[in-house]
């Protein structure tokens, strides 16, 4: 019984040491990511951290990414296309964060 416990503990440690196995986050859908970014844009507008022009530009970029995703899906979404969309959404998310925290007053 003690041997079995030690083996199970060793396997658990081995999986924890392998990058990406235990720490892999589930993939978030494009629609959910777009909704999250749009929600952050709305919050920025309400808080006065974004002006209307910035919000319109950022929403346009969200719309463009959704259109790109639709084009990718026509032929079947490959892993390379999924990674491309993830990178683009990460970049847009960082841009929203920057715009909201660039310390320019919008009032």
Q: Tell me the chain's radius of gyration from C-alpha atoms.
A: 20
pLDDT for 22 beyond 80? no
Distance separating alpha carbons of residues 16 and 34, to the nearest angstrom: 32
CA distance 69 to 78: 11
Question: What pLDDT is attached to residue 102?
Answer: 80
| pLDDT at res. 14 | 52
What is the pTM for the complete model shown?
A: 0.70
Are the C-beta atoms of 58 and 99 separated by less than 8 Å?
yes
Domains of the chain by residue range = 28-100
DSSP state of 20: T
**Residue 52: pLDDT over 90:** yes
């Amino acid at each position: 019984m003690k041997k079995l416990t030690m083996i199970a503990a060793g396997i658990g440690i081995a999986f924890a040491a392998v990058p990406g196995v235990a720490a892999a986050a589930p993939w978030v859908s494009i629609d959910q990511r777009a909704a999250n970014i749009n929600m952050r844009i709305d919050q920025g507008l309400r808080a006065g951290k974004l002006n209307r022009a910035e919000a319109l530009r950022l929403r346009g970029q969200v719309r463009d990414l959704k259109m790109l995703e639709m084009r990718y899906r026509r032929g079947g979404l490959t892993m390379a296309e999924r990674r491309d969309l993830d990178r683009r959404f990460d970049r847009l998310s960082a841009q929203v964060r920057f715009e909201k925290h660039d310390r320019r007053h919008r009032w």
